[in-house]
Amino acid sequence: MALAPVVAASRPVRRSARSGDPADQFDETHRGRRIRGSRMIAAGHPVDAAPWHVTVDGRPLHLMRRADGSWLSMVDHYRSYPTPLEAARAAVDELGPGQRLRDTTTADHAHMGGHHGVHA
């Protein structure tokens, strides 16, 4: 029994098994940019607490959940939104022509400048 939390935590995170459930995924074009998102459900954890994997034109958009249940993004982090999709749309609205999200999978993690996840 003592190992149960360790075993549960070590299980891989997977995309939602309920494909087609609009509450667990989205895929749309907003202002000419493709926004995709899906809940990353881990075995043994509540679905509502699962984090989201969201991309804009294939680049990851980091979202954070606030204590009140709303969402904000690193692009538009001064305002919160009721859903991850609305937060992603707002991030797209903030992106200017020719701008795209940074690829945070590179060594760019140390960057703390004023561009907030946006790359020209």
Contacts of 94 (CB under 8 A, 6+ apart): 75, 76, 118
pLDDT, tens digit, for every residue of 73-101? 989 888 999 999 999 999 999 997 788 88
Q: What are phi and psi of 67, to 5 degrees?
A: -60, -30
CA gap 95, 22 in Å, rounded: 25
CATH architecture, range 13-95: 2-Layer Sandwich (3.30)
Which residues, in sequence order, are CB contacts of 63 under 8 Å at separation 6+?
52, 54, 71, 72, 73, 84, 87, 88
Tokens 């899906």 -> residue: 38
- All structural domains of the chain with their residue ranges: 13-95
**pLDDT over threshold 80, residue 39:** yes
| Mean pLDDT, rounded, for 38-53 | 82
